[in-house]
Amino acid sequence: MEFELKTGKQGHIYLPKRIRAILGEKIKILPNDTAGVIFPADAKTEQVIASVEAILLILKLKDKPIEA
């Protein structure tokens, strides 16, 4: 699942209900210059790392050509 979001005039981002249902009401964001990780505030580090690794795999497969 992938979402494309825009910031409003005040810089706010509306998170779709599906994302809020997954992450909960309290979240943390860990950004760098190119990307960021959004996760529940009470998530364990190991859980976040495992999720990021799964997302990285999806990103790598997304750009890989399908061989027939």
Report the pLDDT value the prediction gives residue 32, as an integer from 0 to 100: 95
Which runs of E-coded beta strand occur in 1-68? 27-31, 36-40
Containing structural domain, residue 7: 1-68
**The residue to which tokens 């964001």 are assigned:** 29
Could you report the per-residue pLDDT of 51-68, keeping only the tens digit for each?
Answer: 999 999 998 888 777 776
pTM for the full model? 0.78
Output the CA–CA distances (angstroms, integers) from residue 56 to 5, 8, 52, 61, in the order listed: 20, 28, 6, 9
- For the chain, what is the domain count? 1
Phi, psi values for residue 33, rounded to 5°:
-70, -25
pLDDT tens digits, 4-20: 889 999 999 998 999 99
